[in-house]
Copies of this chain bind each other. A is one copy, B any other.
Amino acid sequence: MKPTATLLLHCPDQKGIISELTKFITDNQGNILYLDQYVDKQDGMFFMRIEWELTTFIIPRDKILEYIKTLYTQRYNMECSLYFNDIRPRMAIFVSKMSHCLYDLLARYKAGEWEVDIPCIISNHEDLRYVAEQFNIPYYVWSINKDHSNKYEVEQAEAELLKKERITFIVLARYMQIISDDMVKAYPNHIINIHHSFLPAFIGARPYHQAWERGVKIIGATSHYVTAELDAGPIIEQDVVRISHKDTPESLVRKGRDLEKIVLSRAVTKHIERKILTYHNKTIIFN
């Protein structure tokens, strides 16, 4: 694996941006491996993902962001972030009682599908400790009391662990609890949730029962970044499966499990590959 840099950026659309940025990389001996861009005509915004090889790149890697900021940020009113492929993101998984998403994530991790580290699994229940143990990953349990008296302490403890483990993003793998506002603020567009419905249909609790009640002919699952508002953050990926009148709420739960784990893992893949840009509560997902 050769070292590469990946630049994600967005700014108001102007003539010459692509030309200028590709010239900057090419002139400095960077070999562009990937370029994808998108213009939102409605908002007049320009989005780009560009990845290039660092081996022959003239600018040292710890100076690249500085150069880009100096040369372009102010001029184009640009927001950007820079990633290196040899610095692996560190992912924390939150779970409650259902194992299907957790197993799917860990099986991919163990098989080496992802360039990611998973230093910890956090839960409000003991139920899935055996899964964590099967994969030799530390499992932490903090339960919030019914009267919420220890809510603050729990959130503090979780925040500390995330900090200590240098977690860069969080995956809620059917974690049946609301994430605190502080955590959402600490990880803006870096907490991925899986909701077991085709959002915005069936927000909130028991979406399969809601779907069955309404008599829909297709059910879905939605992975999205978590924001302050419940199930309303930027959607990363959705998928659906056909059902019929023969399905019961229980069979919807069963069919939905396969959707949930695949849709969640697709979102995690895109996040790890730094192919997601967020803007105005939507995502731009590059191929």
Contacts and interface: CB of A to CB of B under 8 A. Distances in A.
A11 interface: no
A200 to B, nearest CB: 5
B32 A15 contact: yes
Contact of A240 (B16, B103, B240): B240
Interface in A147-170: none
A238 B16 CA distance: 37
Contacts of A38: 245-246
Given A107-B100, A201-B198, A215 B23 contact: no
A258 to B, nearest CB: 5
A52 B207 CA distance: 31
A16 B15 CA distance: 18
Given A246-B287, A287-B246, A18 B35 contact: yes
Interface string A230-246: 00001111111010111
A154 B220 CA distance: 41
Given A107-B99, A107-B107, A201-B200, A215 B234 contact: yes
B254 A113 contact: yes
Given A18-B35, A26-B16, A201-B201, A284 B100 contact: no
A31 interface: yes
Interface in A22-46: 22-23, 26, 31-32, 35, 37-38, 40-42
A287 B245 CA distance: 11
Chain A interface size range? 35 or more
A185 interface: no
A38 B100 CA distance: 30
B238 A217 contact: yes
A262 to B, nearest CB: 5
15 contacts: A15-B26, A15-B31, A16-B22, A18-B35, A41-B248, A100-B111, A104-B104, A107-B107, A113-B254, A198-B201, A200-B201, A200-B216, A215-B283, A218-B220, A258-B265
Interface of A: 15-16, 18-19, 22-23, 26, 31-32, 35, 37-38, 40-42, 99-100, 103-104, 107-108, 110-111, 113, 134-135, 198-202, 214-218, 220, 234-240, 242, 244-246, 248, 254, 258, 262, 265, 281-285, 287
Given A100-B107, A200-B202, 20 more contacts: A15-B26, A19-B19, A19-B23, A40-B245, A42-B248, A99-B107, A99-B110, A99-B111, A100-B111, A198-B218, A198-B220, A200-B214, A215-B235, A215-B282, A217-B235, A217-B238, A218-B238, A244-B287, A245-B285, A246-B287
